Structure 1
Amino acid sequence: MEFFTKTSVVRLRSHLDKYLVADADGARVRQSRRGSGRVARWTVEEVIAEGGINNKVRLRSCHGRLLTATETPFLLGMTGKTVLQTEFEAGADFKHEWEVIRDGFQVRLRSWSGKFLRANGGTPPWRNTVTVDEPHSSATRDWILWDVEPVEAVEELVDEFLYENDDVVSSFASDDVLSVDSEPASPMSVFSLSSPPARRNSKLMLMQTISSNKFRTGMDFFHRAKAVRLRSHHDKYLLAEDDEDSVTQDRKGSSKSARWTVEYVAEYDNIIRLKSCYGKYLTASNHRFLLGMTGHQVLQTLPSRLDSSVEWEPVKEGGRVKLKTRYGNFLRANGGLPPWRNSVTHDIPHRTATQDWILWDVDVVEIYVNSPASHDRPSAPPLPVEDSVPILTSAQVPPPPTVSASFSRQQSNDLSPKVEGRTIYYHIAEDNGEVLDEGVQGYSLIFKGNGVEELTRKFEEETGLEGIIVCNRSPLNGKLYPLRLQLPPNTVTMRVVLVLPMSNLARDFEEQGLL
Structure 2
Amino acid sequence: MEFFNTAKAVRLKSHLDKFLVADEDQRSVRQGRNGSSNKVYWTVELVEGSYHLIRLKNSHGGYLSASDEPFLLGMTGKRVLQALPNPGVKRCHSMEWEPIKEGYKVKLRTRGGTYLRANGATPPWRNTITHDLPYRTATQDWVLWDVDLVDLSVLQHLQSYPSSSYNCSSLPYDQSLNSNISLSHHHHELASESLGLSRVAHRPSYASERQSGMEFFYKAKAVRLESHLGKYLVGDDDEESVRQSRSGASLNARWTVEFVEGKDNVIRLKSCHGLYLTAAEEPFLLGMTGKKVVQTLPTNKTHAPSIEWEPIKEGFRVKLRTAEGKYLRANGATPPWRNSVTHDLPNRTATQDWVLWGVDVVDIVVSSDASDSPASCLSPPSSFNSVLDDTGTPPTRRPHIKTWVIQPK
- What TM-score do the two structures reach when normalised by structure 1? 0.42
- What TM-score do the two structures reach when normalised by structure 2? 0.49
